[in-house]
Structure 1
Amino acid sequence: MRRPRQPDVVLILTDQQTADAMSATGNPYLRTPAMDALAAAGTRYPNAYCAQPLCTPSRASLMTGRLPSTVGVTGNTGGPEDPLLGRLFTEAGYDCGYGGKWHLPELDLPEGRGFRRIHPAGGDDAGLARAAAEFVRAPRERPFLLVASFLEPHGICEWARGQDPRTGPLPAPPPTAELPPLPANFPVAPYEAALPRLAERAQPHTHPTAAWREDDWRRYRHAYYALVERVDRHIGQLLKALEGRDRETVVVFSSDHGDGAGAHRWNQKWALYEECVRVPLVVTGPGVAAGAVDERLVAAGLDLIPTLCDLAGLTAPQGLSPGLPGLPGLPGRSLRSPEEHASVVVETRWEIPGFNNALGRMVRSGRHKYVCYAWGDHREQLFDLTADPGELVNLAVDARHAPLLDRFRGLLAEHCAAVADPFARFVPRATQ
């Protein structure tokens, strides 16, 4: 139902941007003035996790408010039956526009998804920025919801294979001494899980890094940051179009998932490293604290729809059962809710011929993070992210942490039972 003076809403998505690839986070190796301006105008959430570090499953979660396994979209094929976001806002009287990458599973937005397409997918981020600016400037009598889904920095996938990104070639890299340094967690850690490495070797086209030397990884990081800066400039064009009305507009900025960015000698996504699963998340708008950093745990896929509906003053349409505050019937909650998540879960799956049950789950609660893969050596990982933010010390192999390990096994088992997650059969039983 519409309420008077409902705000316009803009959702800006990048593709494959890890949470710390913003200068607002203190990263000195890139400049992102548009993203930084959003962070200064609103609240940044540094502990926001995607639902799955892969495009289609993550986007399915963002558009439905449910986990990928719940809606049956765990790979880059298939799409959810009801992409809820557009329908909710259309039924509430919003003019809903969508531009750029859809990928559910079609790259371009098809008919009947609650949005009208304002710009196609395909890598023309500059054209998307212009179309989005025209959309927000257009005169209209009703509020609007705009989703601007940019492609970059996904072009790092092509760059790693020696190809030009779809948005255009990058300049030649600078001399080695001027490249970003290797991350502190660049080395492969002891007791690392075997499954991601086996998947890496099975996909040399996706992971063409076996023979890379340290300088190759530094050039990778430079190219990745350059692509983030490229998309930041396009985001800046959209924000310029909102000048004068930005205080009355809800703007949410995030990404579908992250990228290894050289941590653990990893490029691409899939793995449950922090760089792959933690995403940027900034919220601005009426009633949102400016220049704030909120450390709460955020399940980005589950919490997006409740948050947007809460900020827009929408209530759920009939047909959704009672649930948590923000939007009845969905497992997420608004970021304005005083009740925070005690834990968040991230899923992953590799679709590789011959790799059966190439699955994993991650649970973050408090300062600790638990990772469980379905099979392989050292399939359980346990980290203290406060003492070890680079995930280099696997506490799961130390008997002194057995009670903590059992606690996280229990958390994952409870989650799987609550959502009928078939991963339940791979969760080890508590030993104590």
Structure 2
Amino acid sequence: MKVKNIMLCATAVVPSLAWAKELPNIIYIVTDQQTASAMSCMGNDDLHTPNMDKLAQAGVLFRNAYCSTPLSGPARAAMFTGYTSHEVGLARNGTPIPDSLRTRTLGTLMQNAGYDCIYAGKWHVHTASMPDKEFGFTTIHPHSDNGLAEACVGFLEQKHTKPFFLVAGFDNPHNICEYARSQNLPWGNIEDLPQNEWPGLPLNFAKNPYDADVISYEQSLNYSAYPTRNYTPDDWRRYRNLYYRLVEKVDAEIGKILNAIDKQDLWKNTVVIFTSDHGDGVGAHHWNQKSALYEEVVNIPLIVTLPGKKNAGKEMPQLVNNGVDFFAAVCDWAGIRLPEGLHGVSFRSLAEKADPSLKHQDYIVTETTFDKGGNTRGWALRTSRYKYVLYDKGRYREQLFDMEKDRGEMRNLAIEEKYKEILLQHREYLHDWMKLHHVAQIRKDVHTIPGVNPE
């Protein structure tokens, strides 16, 4: 596949040994399909995540972090290429990275900057496991949660003569997909709790009466992904229970890595970044899985633990995209100039200054193409107070929510005249973003955004 309009600078110059020793190690722990609220440190008493909580206590927690795309392959492609996935033809799972980018990924840049780059676990761009000696990485464990933490511990226990970039890609709580399909869970089944111990339903369990109808249409097309259409309330409670137990299961695995960091005294010169590629509906709006732009799906965990545990326990409200902004931040810590043509904004200074009032970026965007053959596209643009959602077709395809008063997205302000000016402003923001990222319109004479003239 040829990729247009991509210009990248030459790879970084290998630093001197003295400079390399000053660079921090970077450990990247990423789960799959974990919504931001699925941690006890976020005030959720339906689960207990002592190790994620430990990271939050030692680091900086970003409450308004969003995925680049709510689908595994495209989300991870953004993390490791620095481009929005649709911008470089990576909008769906199973799509390989274009040849023009294969030697210009984050791993390659880090390797050229003097880092030992190690990958363990899920890759999914496009193969399940990271191919050994490709994309700048040495692979020490395939796509499997079984034994992944132990492989990472074994690496951390080795003697290191240069800084390292270690990626630990866990699959859970993604096994909720197999559970919903009544299949065995890949990394071992877990014990269910008695019904009277299942969590209750979320406050936004009901659908917004002015929700985009294309979401229900996409749900009807794909029984494999959405076998929950006829779930009873108790079915949803059991789903939520199993989901939270899977989060606890992966939390225990993460704990093994944190214990190794403790034992090897690595905190003093290591940046630990914890996040997830996207979330899960968890029953909100009767939704399971990803693809839709509901808050539970696109708002993901992001915790950054700095060397020496600087700013431990701080929380930040600024907007962060954990795809393109992650790429920019890792380059920032590694002393790599961001390649030309990339637009991610590093969150390093936010973590290091830990000032909630610090101005960062006015908005971020999550884009989607529905999974499993669906053809609906959509965009969620988040500003400090509002979230604007646009799908490319259907009734009520335009949504606007006040995220201070209505984080559950139950009142669509796009249909109310008094919010017209706010709606128009958010349309303009999305229009600017689409131009910057070369988003193709429906037709030359029809712009995707309502009220915006084709150019």
Normalised by the size of structure 1, how large is the TM-score? 0.93
Could you say which residue in structure 2 is the equivalent of 1:302? 324
Q: CA deviation at 1:402?
A: 1.5
Q: CA deviation at 1:300?
A: 1.1
The answer to which of 398-407 and 19-28 deviates more is 398-407
Secondary structure of the equivalent of 1:242? helix
Residues 1:345 and 2:345 are matched in the alignment: no
Residue of 330, 347, 352 corresponding to 1:335? 347
Is the CA contact 1:161–1:208 (under 8 Å) kept in the aligned structure 2? Answer: yes
Residues 1:150 and 2:167 are matched in the alignment: no
Secondary structure of the equivalent of 1:51? coil
For residues 138 and 379 of structure 2, the distance between their equivalents in structure 1, rounded to whole angstroms, comes to 35
Residues 1:93 and 2:114 are matched in the alignment: yes
Q: Which amino acid aligns with 2:418?
A: R
Is the CA contact 1:192–1:378 (under 8 Å) kept in the aligned structure 2? Answer: yes
Gaps of 5+ in 2: 1-13, 350-357
Residue of 211, 225, 229 corresponding to 2:244? 225
Secondary structure of the equivalent of 2:22? coil
Is the CA contact 2:78–2:323 (under 8 Å) kept in the aligned structure 1? Answer: yes
Residue of 420, 434, 439 corresponding to 1:421? 439
For residues 30 and 232 of structure 2, the distance between their equivalents in structure 1, rounded to whole angstroms, comes to 32
Could you say which residue in structure 2 is the equivalent of 1:213? 232
Residues 1:79 and 2:96 are matched in the alignment: yes
Could you say which residue in structure 1 is the equivalent of 2:314? 292
For residues 421 and 22 of structure 1, the distance between their equivalents in structure 2, rounded to whole angstroms, comes to 35
Moved over 6 A (4+): none
Q: Deviations over 1:202-243 (max 9, x none)?
A: 111111112211011011000000000000000000111111
Secondary structure of the equivalent of 1:146? strand
For residues 409 and 335 of structure 1, the distance between their equivalents in structure 2, rounded to whole angstroms, comes to 25
Residue of 181, 185, 210 corresponding to 2:200? 181
For residues 186 and 374 of structure 1, the distance between their equivalents in structure 2, rounded to whole angstroms, comes to 25
Secondary structure of the equivalent of 1:45? strand
Q: Which amino acid aligns with 2:89?
A: G
Could you say which residue in structure 2 is the equivalent of 1:23? 40
Q: CA deviation at 1:163?
A: 1.4
Gaps of 5+ in 1: 322-328
Give the number of equivalent residue pairs. Answer: 416
- In angstroms, what is the RMSD of aligned CA positions? 1.6
Residue of 355, 364, 376 corresponding to 2:382? 364
Percent sequence identity over aligned pairs: 43
Matches within 5 A, 1:25-424: 25-81=42-98, 82=101, 84-110=105-131, 111-121=133-143, 123=144, 125-175=145-195, 177-243=196-262, 244-286=265-307, 288-312=310-334, 314-316=335-337, 320-321=339-340, 329-337=341-349, 340-351=360-371, 353=373, 356=375, 358-423=376-441
Q: CA deviation at 1:65?
A: 1.4
Q: CA deviation at 1:339?
A: 5.0
Q: Deviations over 1:255-313 (max 9, x none)?
A: 0000001111100000000000011000012274110001100011011122123234x
Q: Which amino acid aligns with 1:94?
A: Y
Secondary structure of the equivalent of 1:129? helix
Q: CA deviation at 1:341?
A: 1.3
Q: CA deviation at 1:164?
A: 2.1
Is the CA contact 2:71–2:371 (under 8 Å) kept in the aligned structure 1? Answer: no
For residues 302 and 23 of structure 2, the distance between their equivalents in structure 1, rounded to whole angstroms, comes to 22
Is the CA contact 1:62–1:305 (under 8 Å) kept in the aligned structure 2? Answer: yes
Q: Which amino acid aligns with 1:236?
A: G
For residues 418 and 369 of structure 1, the distance between their equivalents in structure 2, rounded to whole angstroms, comes to 20
Structure 1 residues 14 and 212: alpha-carbon distance in aligned structure 2, compared to 1, 3 A threshold:
same
Q: Deviations over 1:30-80 (max 9, x none)?
A: 111110000000100010000110000000001111111112100002132
For residues 305 and 359 of structure 1, the distance between their equivalents in structure 2, rounded to whole angstroms, comes to 24
Q: CA deviation at 1:430?
A: 5.4
For residues 296 and 96 of structure 2, the distance between their equivalents in structure 1, rounded to whole angstroms, comes to 25
